Amino acid sequence: MPDRFKASRSSESSFDPLSVGLQPPPNETEEEKEVRLAAAREAVRVSRTIDVGLVESKKAMERKKRAVKILLLGQSESGKSSVLRNFRLAFTPKYFESERLLWKTVIQLNLISSLKKILAVLQEEWDETESAGTKSATLLTSEHRRLALSLSPLLAFETGISNMLSSDSPSGGYTVTVRPGGGWKDKLASFGRAPSSDDPPSPTGAPGSDPSQVTQVLAACKDEIISLWGDTVVRSVLESRDVHLKEAPGFFLDDTERIAALDYVPSDRDIMRARIRTLGVEEHRFVTESGFRAGTEFFITDVCGSSNQRSTWIPYFDDVQAILFLAPLAFWQSLDEDAKVNRVQDSLEIWREIVGNPLLAKTAFILLFNKKDILQAHIAAGVLVKKFVPSFGDRPNDVASVTKYFRDKFSAYHRKFSPEPRPFIFYETEAIDTKSTAIILGEVQEQIIRNHMKGLDVM
């Protein structure tokens, strides 16, 4: 082969377009060279950061595959959040303790929300009697007006802080409402430290949006709150308008003396009773500090229980090891969304649908008959089950008989509609009773982990 062809092929094979692209431009100045090299170093840094992020994401996905995944299901206000807090208290006590003072503001807001409801009812009473021209028709007096007026500053705090916690969608109701993700906790925590020049401005800029001031204002209004709530005329007005605050979640008016104190620190039971509504789905990750196989990683997903949100549950059925289904036996209540639908009957229908879902054929179901203390109180007060559930018939109107009746209903649906045979596991719980709930959750945790380890073929 002629030498000229050899030289041509050798030249072509050594050509590297990348090296040509990296060559400095002709007539490059020192300043331009420094800028080019700095850009190259930044590109390398960004590339390495992306590589590290991809590696960490892969590790996180592998960890999640081996973690225990639990889904919390049930109606709105069934007690899912309280069970989750009990889980935190029982198995991640250090984390639970770190959030104690954050719940102080939530509990204070719950107390003020109850007051807000009372004042709204009293105003309705005044408006109606005055419009009818029969001022004497109400037993409310000028003293009640004075009390209502003296407590009105608290409403500005309740509105300001609630809007600050859910700045993208202020609720304007009687329940503190937040978005998933824990951002509201960060906002509350920021008020526990001295302000910094780097801090962003207040989300609302409105007076009363600083939780650090609530304690002082509550303490100043404590006597008026106790006087208003203890007034027999006020109680009769609430009763006449079918307002039963004691049955509502987040009720703390009976504890005003303690909660309105300057040195108030929430008890574990207070935190379990606190009411905060989360819009949407929230996933909670934690590693157990105690209990069976301490160090186990959990992912617990809490989904919205409102009837118009249940269609969003299905995507979370994938790869879940256990479902904790909460069904308070509140046979005397109807759904907030539809007053014609009995709460227990609605729970039964949800239970029938999920146990029969083929995507959950291998999933363990654990049924929690929650709020048994409220059931006991209503039975003791003489509330008849057959008045609300005619099929209950003439069975004994006691807690044991009522619980057995509904337990048999859930068990029959579980047996009939499950795609594959599986054990029917249930517990009677009172989420605000932290000691008994911890024992139950300990058993639940051990059972779920054992099933999970069998699925991983490590037991």
- Identify each DSSP E strand in 119-189 by its residue range: 177-178
DSSP 37-83: HHHHHHHHHHHHHHHHHHHHHHHHHHHHHHSEEEEEEE-TTSSHHHH
Determine whether the annotation assigns residue 210 to a binding site.
no
Residue 368 β-bridge partners: 326, 427
Provide CB contacts within 8 A for 353, sequence distance 6+.
none
| CA neighbor of 253 nearest in space, from 458, 113, 426, 431 | 113
Evaluated on CA atoms 449, 451, 454, 459, the torsion sign reads positive
- Three-state helix/strand/coil letters over 354-369: HHCCHHHCCCEEEEEE
373 is in an annotated binding site: yes
**Rounded CA gap, 325 and 370, in Å?**
10
Neighbours of 410 (CB within 10 A): 22
- State the residue for tokens 């029938």: 352
Q: Tokens 């800028």, residue?
A: 35
Query: Comparing C-alpha atoms, which of 355, 293, 298 is closest to residue 327?
Result: 355
Q: Which of 417, 310, 303 is nearest to 355 (CA)?
A: 417
Separation between Cα atoms, residue 298 and residue 291, nearest integer Å: 13
Name the strand (E) or helix (H) holding 283: strand 282-287
> 278 among the known binding-site residues?
yes
Q: Is residue 254 annotated as involved in ligand binding? A: no
* CA–CA distance, 154 with 260 (Å, rounded to integer): 12
d(CA 393, CA 402): 11
Q: Report the SS3 class of residue 426.
A: strand
372 labeled binding residue: yes
For helices 232-240 and 100-131, the axis angle rounded to 10 degrees is: 80
DSSP state of 285: E
Q: Which of 416, 306, 424, 406 is nearest to 353 (CA)?
A: 416
Question: Tokens standing for 368?
Answer: 């929690």
Residue type, 373: D
With beta carbons less than 8 A apart as the criterion, state whether 401 and 375 touch: no
Instruction: Return binding residues.
Output: 278, 370-373, 431
Instruction: Return binding residues for Mg(2+).
Output: 278
Instruction: Return binding residues for GTP.
Output: 370-373, 431
